[in-house]
Amino acid sequence: MIRVEGLTKRYGNVNAISDVSFEVGKGEVVGFLGPNGAGKSTSMRILCGCLGATSGKALVGDLDVLERPREVKQRIGYLPEVPPLYGTMTVRDYVTFAARIKGVSDANGAALKAIDRTGLTSVRGRIIDHLSKGYRQRVGLAQALVHDPEVLVLDEPNSGLDPAQRVEIRDLLTELAAGDRTVILSTHVLGEVEALCERVVIINKGRIVAQDTIANLAAAAYSLRVRVARPTAETQSTLAAVPGVVNVDQVDDGLWSIGTQDDVRELLAAAAVPFGLLELSPGQRLEEAYLRLTTEGAE
């Protein structure tokens, strides 16, 4: 459904992105990850026809974004990191306006449907500038959905939402991705990526450093969390001495994140028991893989 080939965007002598290539199949939900300034937003803006590339190609279906931008935009719903809102309009008027400029035949009906799906019905008559940041984020999502696009490109859709609202938006995105709709999701909340995506594309310093399933990336970052009741000055060195342990990093008082080369849970448990073992659990594997690829992997 989406094919990006060798995209490069240059500002003077600085490359924002370099030779970026990836594909997203129809109905696939893919996480697009990277540190701030890595090139995520630049890549997404080019894909949505909002920014021209210096070189390379981006296609949505069989449509070249550069050659047929209007047709591409009819097939894509785009939520930028900063939603494109007109603050003096009401929610209903704005979403209806978005439907009209996107060529929706029944703009009023489409707007009401998008408002309902994003949980905005109770504030549809409110001025956008009078809403909280979380509600304004929802309005931005409503405009991305209003024309029922085949492809959703979402840049930090959960920005500014409280935990309950994040769950609601996650449920909505799960519903939207259940059919043939293709979704690219950029977020720093890796738990959302694990809940919604099967595959991720990771970019760092303008270049793609990994494309794989979450399961495969996580398997390459085997880690454990160990918590003890009675930590001492010797606890960390004792854990580090266990055969197969690569590194031991203290997370909090009595809590360590441990990188390993193999399954050493039995040996670690035995080493931690004298200190009052309270927890031995898998680490945050996607996070471990992400950090490795955007630090060590970048070099």
CATH number, residue 152: 3.40.50.300
Q: What is the pTM of this model?
A: 0.78
Residues 173 and 158: beta-carbon distance below 8 Å: no
Beta bridge partners of 135: none
CA dihedral 108, 114, 116, 117 (to 10 degrees): 160
Is 90 exceeded by the pLDDT of residue 131?
Answer: yes
> Is residue 220 very low, low, confident or very high in pLDDT (cuts 50, 70, 90)?
low
Q: Which of 173, 196, 218 is the last residue of a domain?
A: 218
Q: Residue 278 domain-assigned? A: yes
In the sheet that 223-228 helps form, which strands lie side by side, from edge to edge? 245-252, 255-260, 223-228, 277-282
Give the C-alpha separation, 224 to 296, whole Å: 20
Tell me how many domains the chain contains: 2
Mean pLDDT (the chain, rounded): 89
pLDDT tens-place string over residues 248-289: 888 889 998 888 877 788 999 999 999 999 999 876 667 777
Which stretch of 89-98, 123-132, 274-283 has the lowest confidence by average pLDDT? 274-283
| 99 in the same domain as 33 | yes
Token digits for 221? 């970052």
CA 219 to chain CA centroid, Å, is 20
Which stretch of 42-46, 76-80, 106-110, 258-262 has the lowest confidence by average pLDDT? 258-262
Q: Which of 218, 240, 271 is the last residue of a domain?
A: 218
| 269 in the same domain as 160 | no
Residues 149 and 137: beta-carbon distance below 8 Å: no
Grouping H, G, I as helix, E, B as strand and the rest as coil, residue 268 is helix
Mean pLDDT of 144-157: 93
Look at residue 297 in the predicted model and tell me its pLDDT.
42
Q: Residue 299 domain-assigned? A: no
CATH number, residue 251: 3.30.70.100
First-last CA distance in the chain: 32
Look at residue 219 in the predicted model and tell me its pLDDT.
63
Give the C-alpha separation, 128 to 170, whole Å: 23
DSSP state of 50: S
Residues 65 and 59: beta-carbon distance below 8 Å: yes
Q: By residue range, what is the domain housing residue 178? A: 2-218
Q: Residue 237 domain-assigned? A: yes
DSSP state of 40: H
Give the C-alpha separation, 252 to 56, whole Å: 46
> Is residue 298 very low, low, confident or very high in pLDDT (cuts 50, 70, 90)?
very low
Q: Residue 48 domain-assigned? A: yes
Q: Which of 168, 202, 218 is the last residue of a domain?
A: 218
Q: Secondary structure of the chain: what % helix, strand, coil (to 5)?
A: 35, 30, 35
| 175 in the same domain as 35 | yes
CA dihedral 69, 70, 76, 81 (to 10 degrees): 70
